[in-house]
Amino acid sequence: MMVRFSDILEDDKKEGEGAPSSEPEQVDESQQEDPRIKEVRMTDSQILSPEETPNFSDPFSTNRYSEDVKTYYAGLLEKAVEIRDRVKANQGLSHSPILSLLHDIIDQDLIDQLYEYALSFPSDDELPVHSISVTLASLKVGKGTGYDTKKLLRLGFTAFLENVGMYKLPDHILKKTGKLSPDEIAVIRKHPEFSAQIFSGMGEVFKQLGEVAVQVHERSDGSGYPRGLKGEEISEAASIIGLIDVYMAMIKNRPYRDKYIQTQAVKSVLEFGKGKFPPNVVKAFLNQISLFPVNTHVKLNNGSIGRVISTDQRQPMRPTIELLYDPVIRISTAAYCGVC
């Protein structure tokens, strides 16, 4: 379906009526035949922390993604870096290349694959990479909630640029490893307004999306910033992006802390989200992101070690894993295990 970019801000007549998708994420049949791919019950398994995860030599992990996925991710990264450089240089942004890229990703149904691919890379605290992860995860939640192409475009575009105001802040504050002072916190809390200004600079019609971007750090209980909005004063799109932004920040390294294990981050977000995000947004997040997120490393009861590569919403405790190490069949997996 082709959507004119000039129409992306128009309200759909049946907006919000889309039913959540009931289709589970599927694993390619060719992968099902691979002895490394297993569907397992995770009840008694152990989630491995980064320190506990062996240093696997694992070329299979990224090779299973199509060239289209790799090309679109490279395109997103190139665009995110260009945006950073232009904002820092006080140059304007063009909306068309971003919307065109997002439209192709949505139209070709590559959201889930790109999300998994993004999480397959080592942790990176750079803001362009964070913006891509937030965008893809937000699109994943929006897709699972039943958003149509227009709503996904609005959601994805806003997610891609919602933190762009951070590039207006001093690096010594953004990269500080110690505790921030009250004055430094006040500076950081100005970035949503800077983001909104940048949205407005792309044309009058993008002011509406700027209003969504400025609400991303607002919380349902009024504890957010910069305006202290509450409940229905905050748009659903802003709540989706805000929840994803928190989660993605947790699973990436930061100058002041190490990353969280993904499963622990999900649990932490769910605890943190009570009262701060709408229940339907929290539920959609859990349905799409899962307690066993893609790329989580797990150790099974028999000593095998694997990585989660897909999940089924109908059976959240039975993810499909890529077997990286099997103590029983050491020879067949030795090429994929750096500690065998």
Task: Please report the pLDDT score of residue 55 as a whole number.
Answer: 54
pLDDT in the model for residue 141:
95
What pLDDT score does 22 carry? 37
3-state secondary structure the chain: CCCCHHHCCCCCCCCCCCCCCCCCCCCCHHHHCCCCEEECCCCCCEECCCCCCCCCCCCHHHHCCCHHHHHHHHHHHHHHHHHHHHHHCCCCCCHHHHHHHHHHHHHCCCHHHHHHHHHCCCCCCCHHHHHHHHHHHHHHHHHHHCCCHHHHHHHHHHHHHCCHHHHHCCHHHHCCCCCCCHHHHHHHCCHHHHHHHHHHCCCHHHHHHHHHHCCCCCCCCCCCCCCCCCHHHCCHHHHHHHHHHHHHHHCCCECCECCCCHHHHHHHHHHHHCCCCCHHHHHHHHHHHCCCCCCCEEECCCCCEEEEEECCCCCCCCCEEEEEECCCCHHHHHHHCCCC
pLDDT at res. 307: 78
What pLDDT shows up at residue 122?
64
Tens-digit pLDDT string for the chain (340 aa): 444 555 555 554 444 344 333 343 443 444 445 555 555 555 445 555 554 555 554 444 556 788 999 999 999 999 999 999 999 999 999 999 999 999 999 999 999 999 988 887 766 668 999 999 999 999 999 998 999 999 999 999 999 999 999 999 998 888 887 788 999 999 999 999 999 999 999 988 899 999 999 999 999 999 999 999 999 999 999 999 999 999 988 887 666 566 666 667 777 887 877 889 999 999 899 888 866 767 777 777 777 888 777 766 666 667 778 788 777 654 333 333 333 2
pLDDT value, residue 110: 96
Superfamily of domain 62-290: Hypothetical protein af1432 (1.10.3210.10)
pTM above 0.85, yes or no: no
In the chain, where the domains are located: 62-290
